[in-house]
Amino acid sequence: MAMRPIRGKWGLKWFPRTASVVFTKGDLVMFTSGLVATATAQSTKHLGIIAQGVASTDADYATAAVKVPVWVPLEPNAEFEAEVTGTLVTTSLGLQYDLTDANTVNQAGTTYKVVTCTRFKSATLGDFILNSNLAFADTTWD
């Protein structure tokens, strides 16, 4: 299951992507050298959730700067749904976590604290806000 916006204000914006990178619809993404790239477990500033997959079989896969749609949170409390590694519990509400990868929250990781749990759905699924939202960080972009 991929991440997906569920509550609050989100806007669909188009940004140039990194060439020769596979993107899965619903991955959390960031900027690297001015291009959209897949988020990692160590990334600390994020753009949003990619709304379209990019496959290695796509005709423009190796072409740099092709624009892709990204769901960008337009307010700090915009929520998204994500799967969780580890065990989410009802007392996880309000706690901050890291990422396992571009589409999974790491319940055991608390080094970077890039998301905050806002709703417990199951031991492996929750709602979160993006603490690392690039639009509300000290970085200019547009």
Parse the chain into domains and list their residue ranges.
4-73, 79-136
φ, ψ at 6 (rounded to 5°): -130, -30
- The token pair at 98 is 């890291």
- Between CA 140 and CA 94 the distance in angstroms is 28
Contact of 24 with 4, CB cutoff 8 Å? no
Query: Residue 58: pLDDT band by 50, 70, 90 thresholds?
Result: very high
Rg of the chain on CA atoms, in Å: 14
Average pLDDT over residues 70-87: 96
Taking the complete model, does pTM exceed 0.95, yes or no?
no
Contact of 63 with 19, CB cutoff 8 Å? yes
- Find tokens 């509300």 and name the residue: 136
Contact of 136 with 142, CB cutoff 8 Å? no
Q: What average pLDDT does the structure give for the chain?
A: 93
Residues 5-53 pLDDT 10s = 999 999 999 999 999 999 999 999 999 999 999 999 999 999 999 999 9
